[in-house]
């Protein structure tokens, strides 16, 4: 009975964490500063909280080699690009577009992962990638750079590509270090890389902007990530993958409730195709 209760509790924690992940894009819509500053604020806040947690938990923070330090700093730079393009996608279009296109990262993993890890490219993966691409084409309203949705999709695909790179880097680091340690280094490196934007990008900060960025950084990133990692330790990876697939759904529901954003038929159909293939690819990889 105790084991069953513990399992149910961790499933609940997983859902809470994923719900908070999905809330990040909506919360960012309430701020009026450029996307790069939202991303900067997010990683600064999350880095601070993760560092405090690491100190309190007495985590081992030393990496094994100089090569790993260089690689994780570069990964942090990719993370900075990922969050910036994600928020940019949402700002120029909608939360639905940003979160749906973000879910296409398995499309890029299909072709990049076999090259980097010297693995065979499977026909089934190619078929999945083609279907994913079709899902993106369904979502695009028109092939015009004057259309905000199209621009949002382009930014979203860039966000997806950078997340695929992050995923591959984390495959390397997760085999060597604790998840919280990897996350702290990546978030901290992203903060350092994005810091010049604070002086180069003009913005008029309101209390609402600062509060929104702090909420995204502390609650939707650091706290949610820590909760997710903690709960995942006693839950099957396949189960965690199914719960994680709900992030986009939660994001769209939040956008509907708090922003009044109603997804178009194209977005719903294309999103259903993309999410189905993305979830299938994640579960098949387990």
- Distance, in Å, from the CA atom of 256 to the CA atom of 31, rounded to the nearest integer, reads 17
Which is more confidently placed, 281 or 186? 186
Q: What is the pLDDT of residues 164-191, one digit of tens each?
A: 888 888 878 877 888 788 889 999 999 9
For the chain, how many structural domains are there in total? 1
Domain span at 155: 2-284
Contacts of 121 (CB under 8 A, 6+ apart): 110, 111, 114
DSSP string, 15-76: HHHHHHHHHHHHHHTT--S-HHHHHHHHHHHHHHHHHHHHHHTT-----S-HHHHHHHHHHH
The 3-state secondary structure of 134-187, one letter per residue: HHHHHHCCCCCCCCHHHHHHHHHHHHHHHHHHHHHHHHHHHCCCCHHHHHHHHH
**Model confidence, pTM:** 0.83
- Distance, in Å, from the CA atom of 214 to the CA atom of 220, rounded to the nearest integer, reads 9
Determine contact, residues 271/263, Cβ cutoff 8 Å. Answer: yes
pLDDT for the residue numbered 194: 96
Q: What is the dihedral of CA 241, 244, 249, 250, to 10 degrees?
A: 150
- Is the pLDDT at 154 greater than 70, yes or no? yes
Q: What is the pLDDT of residues 50-97, one digit of tens each?
A: 899 889 988 888 998 999 999 999 999 999 999 999 999 999 988 888
């Amino acid at each position: 009975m105790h084991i069953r209760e513990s399992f149910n509790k961790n499933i609940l924690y997983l859902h809470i964490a994923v719900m908070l992940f999905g809330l990040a894009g909506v919360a960012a819509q309430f701020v009026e500063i450029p996307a790069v500053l939202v991303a900067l604020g997010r990683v600064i806040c999350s880095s601070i909280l993760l560092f405090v947690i690491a100190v309190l938990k007495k985590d081992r923070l030393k990496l094994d080699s100089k090569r790993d330090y260089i690689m994780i700093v570069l990964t942090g730079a990719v993370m900075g690009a990922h969050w910036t393009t994600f928020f940019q996608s949402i700002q120029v279009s909608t939360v639905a577009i940003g979160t749906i296109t973000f879910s296409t990262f398995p499309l890029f993993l299909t072709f990049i992962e076999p090259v980097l890890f010297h693995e065979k490219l499977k026909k089934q993966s190619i078929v999945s990638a083609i279907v994913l691409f079709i899902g993106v084409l369904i979502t695009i309203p028109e092939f015009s750079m004057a259309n905000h949705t199209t621009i949002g999709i382009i930014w979203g695909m860039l966000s997806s590509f950078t997340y695929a790179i992050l995923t591959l880097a984390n495959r390397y680091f997760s085999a060597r270090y604790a998840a919280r340690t990897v996350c702290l280094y990546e978030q901290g490196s992203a903060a350092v890389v994005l810091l010049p934007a604070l002086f180069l990008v003009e913005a008029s900060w309101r209390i609402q902007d600062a509060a929104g960025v702090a909420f995204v950084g502390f609650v939707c990133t650091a706290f949610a990530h820590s909760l997710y990692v903690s709960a995942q330790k006693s839950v099957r990876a396949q189960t965690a993958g199914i719960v994680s697939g709900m992030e986009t759904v939660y994001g769209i529901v939040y956008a509907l409730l708090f922003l009044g954003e109603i997804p178009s038929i194209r977005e719903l159909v294309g999103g259903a195709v993309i999410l189905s293939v993305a979830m299938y690819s994640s579960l098949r990889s387990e």
